[in-house]
Chain A
Amino acid sequence: MTQQLILYPLLLQMLLAIILMFFWRKINAQRIISMFGSLAHLAVSITVFAFIWNNGTQTVQAGSWEAPFGITFIADTFSATMVLLTSIAGLAVSIFSSGSVIGDRLRFGYFPIFHFLLLGLTGAFLTGDIFNLYVWFEIIIISSFVLITIGGEKAQLEGAVKYFTLNFLASMIFLTAIAVLYGLTGSLNMADLANKVAAVENRALVEITAILFLIGFGIKSAIFPLYFWLPASYHTPPSAVSAIFGGLLTKVGVYALVRVFTLIFVDDVFLDQILLVLAIFTLFSGALGALVQNNIKKVFSYLIICHIGYMIIGLGMFTEVAIAGTIFYLVHDIIVKTNLFMISGLIYRIKGSNSMRALGGFYANYPKLSLLMFIPLFSLVGIPPLSGFWPKISLITASFESGSYWSLAAIIFASFITLVVIAKLWAEVFWKDATEIPVRPKFRYFHAIKNIKRVQIIVPIVFLSLVSLYIGFGAEHIQTLSARIASELMDNQQYIDAVLNTQTPE
C-alpha cells in the first residue's frame, strides 16, 4: 500500500468532504467529523513526510498512464512539507471554526467547503502536471469564494466581488500561459516541460510565457502591483476563514511561483531581475500600507503582502542560500499568519471590535492571553530567537553574497516597519488603558459562550504558538529541512528523473 502513500492526504481530504456532505444539516456531527478528520489528516501527512524524508522523492502516475502522457503526482521534500503545513493549519482552523463560526454559517455547508478547499491545496502541492495544477487552483478559488460569501453580509459580498474578479482574471491569465506553453512544447507534464522548454529556440516567447505565469501567480500571491484585492477582502469574512486564507491561499501562489521558476523557467537573468524588483516593491508597499491601518485584520492583511516580498526576493536572488531562506520563511509564515488571524478573531470575540483605537487594556485584564498572543506577534517581527528571525539571516546573507544591496535595504526596512507596526498594535491594544466600547446587544461575547467553545477557540492558538516556538527554538531542524529543499530545487534534474524514469508498477 506504500506505492500510493503520497496520494493518501489527498484521498482522505476528498473522503472527508464527501462524508461531510452527507451530514449537510447536522452541524454538530460535522464539527466532530471535521476535527477528527483533520487530526487523521495530520497523522497521514506526518507519515508521508517521514516517508519522503527517508526515501526521497516519490511519484504516482494516476490511472497508470505513464508520464509524460498521464497526470503525475509527485511528492518531493518541498511538496511533503507544504502538505504537512496545510494539515497543521487545517487542523487548527477546523477546531477554531467549530468554536467561533456561528451556526447560521455552518448550516450552509461551511465544513464540506472548508475541506474541499484543503483538498484543492493538497492537490496543488502534490501535482506534477501544470494543467492539473490549474484544476486544483480552480477548486481552491471556487471553495474560497463560497467561504468568503457564506453568511451574506453586505461587507462580505463587497469584498467577495473584488476577490473573485481579480482571482478569476488570474486564473484566465494562468490558463492562457498554459495554452502558450502547450503550443510551444506540446506537453503539460512539468518535468517534461522542463526538458522541452530548455530546448526551445524562441527565447523571447518563453520569456513572455514566463511573465504570463508570473502575472497569474502574482495576482494569487498578492505581489506588488497586483495585490489590491487582498486588503479589500480578507477582513470581511469570519476570522476562521481569514485565517485559512491568510495562512495558505497566498502561499499556494508562492509555491507555484517557486515550483515554476525553479523547474521550468530557470537560468534567466531577466526574469530574476523582474522578480527582485517586484519583491522589493512588495516589501515597501506592504509595509507602508500596514502602517496607516486601524483595523487589526487590515494591518495583518498588509503584513501578508509585505512578507510575501521576503519569499519572492529569495526566489529572485536564486542562490541556494536564498531559496533556503524563502522556504524557511514560507514555513514560518504559514503558521504565524494563520495564528494571527485567529487571534484577531479572539480579540473580536472578547471585545466586539477590531479597531485599534477603540481597543485597549488587554494586558491588564487578560495577562495570560496577552502572553499567548505575544508569541505569534513577535515571531512575525522576528525578535530572536522567535521564528521570524532565522530565515532573514539566510536572506540577508544571500543578498550580501550576490551584492544586491537594494534587496538588503528592502529586507531591513520591511523588518523595521513590521516591528513598528506590531509595537504600535501592542501599545494600542494591550498597554493602553481600556476604553468603553458600547455593548452590542445581540453579539455573542467570549465570556458569554459555553466553556467548550472557549476551549475550541483557545486550543488552536496555543497549538500554533507551540509550533511557532518550535520553529524558533528548533531552527536548526527547519534550517536543515530548508537547505535540503533548496538543494533539491536548485538541481531540477532529480525532479525530472523522478517523474520520467519511474516505471508504473506491474
Chain B
Amino acid sequence: MKTLILKTASNYLLPLLLVFSVFILLRGHYLPGGGFVGGLIAAIAFVLHAFANGLDNTKGLLRFHPGFLMPVGLGLAFVSGLAPVIGLDDPFMTGLWFPEPFPVIGNVGSALFFDIGVYLVVIGVTLTIIFTISESA
C-alpha cells in the first residue's frame, strides 16, 4: 500500500508499539497483560510495518527468520521452569524471586522469564504464519 501517511506513521508506530508490548508484558503478573498479549502486540507492530513498507523491508528489518524465535522462546520458558529443579531441587516451575524489586521493572523472578519465553514464541508463530500467507498470496 503506497500512502505516504501510513508509511510515515508506521515508522513511528513500530518502536512505540514495541515499547508498549514490553510494557504489557511486564505488567502482566498481577494485572491484565502478559507474554501472550504482549507478543501479539509486538507482532502487530511488524505486520503494520509490512503493510506500509512491503514485506521485504520488514524482513530486512528483522534480519532473521521469525520462526527462529519459536525454539528460542520455548527454550527460555523451559529453562525458567527447570531452574528450580537444578538450583534448589524444588518441584518443576516453582517460582524463584529476587528478594528486592528492581527499579522500573518491579519484582523479577523465574515467572518473568517464562513470560518472556511466551512473548517470543507468540511473536515467532504469528509472524511466521502471516509472512507465509502473504508470501503465497
Contacts and interface: CB of A to CB of B under 8 A. Distances in A.
Interface of A: 1, 3-4, 7, 11, 14-15, 17-19, 21-22, 24, 60-64, 504-505
B71 interface: yes
Contacts, number: 46
A63 B78 contact: no
B67 A62 contact: no
Given A18-B75, A24-B67, A11 B93 contact: no
Given A4-B85, A21-B71, A63-B95, A15 B90 contact: no
Given A11-B82, A15-B78, A63 B92 contact: yes
A18 B74 contact: yes
A11 B92 contact: yes
- Best-surrounded residue of B82, B85, B91 (most CB of chain A within 10 A): B91
A4 B78 contact: no
Contacts of A18: 71, 74-75, 78
Nearest to B72: A22
Contacts of B74: 17-18, 21
Contacts of B71: 18-19, 21-22
Interface in B66-120: 67, 70-71, 74-75, 78, 82, 85, 89-95
A109 to B, nearest CB: 10
A62 to B, nearest CB: 5
9 contacts: A1-B89, A3-B89, A4-B92, A15-B78, A18-B78, A22-B71, A64-B94, A505-B89, A505-B90
Interface in B14-61: none
Q: Which 6 A-B pairs have the closest CB atoms?
A: A21-B71, A64-B94, A63-B93, A18-B74, A22-B71, A18-B75
Contact of A63 (B82, B89, B91): B91
Interface residues of B, number: 15
Contacts of B78: 11, 14-15, 18
A224 B135 CA distance: 45
Which of B67, B70, B92, B94 counts the most A-chain CB atoms under 10 A from its CB? B92
A33 to B, nearest CB: 13
Nearest to B95: A63
A4 B70 contact: no
Nearest to B94: A64
Nearest to B70: A21
Nearest to B89: A3
Interface of B: 67, 70-71, 74-75, 78, 82, 85, 89-95
Given A7-B85, A504-B91, 5 more contacts: A4-B91, A18-B74, A60-B91, A62-B91, A62-B93
Contacts of A11: 78, 82, 85, 92
Given A14-B78, A15-B78, A63 B94 contact: yes
B67 A7 contact: no
A61 to B, nearest CB: 6
B77 to A, nearest CB: 9
B92 A3 contact: no
A135 to B, nearest CB: 14
A18 B74 CA distance: 7
B92 A7 contact: yes
Contacts of A17: 74
B120 to A, nearest CB: 12
A231 to B, nearest CB: 32
A79 to B, nearest CB: 16
B90 A64 contact: yes
A20 to B, nearest CB: 8
Contacts of B67: 24
B92 A60 contact: yes
Contacts of A505: 89-91
A14 B67 CA distance: 18
Contact of B91 (A3, A19, A21): A3
B30 to A, nearest CB: 17
Nearest to A23: B71
A61 B93 CA distance: 10
A21 B75 CA distance: 10
A1 B89 CA distance: 6
A3 B86 CA distance: 11
Residue of A22, A61, A504 contacting most chain B CB atoms (<10 Å): A22
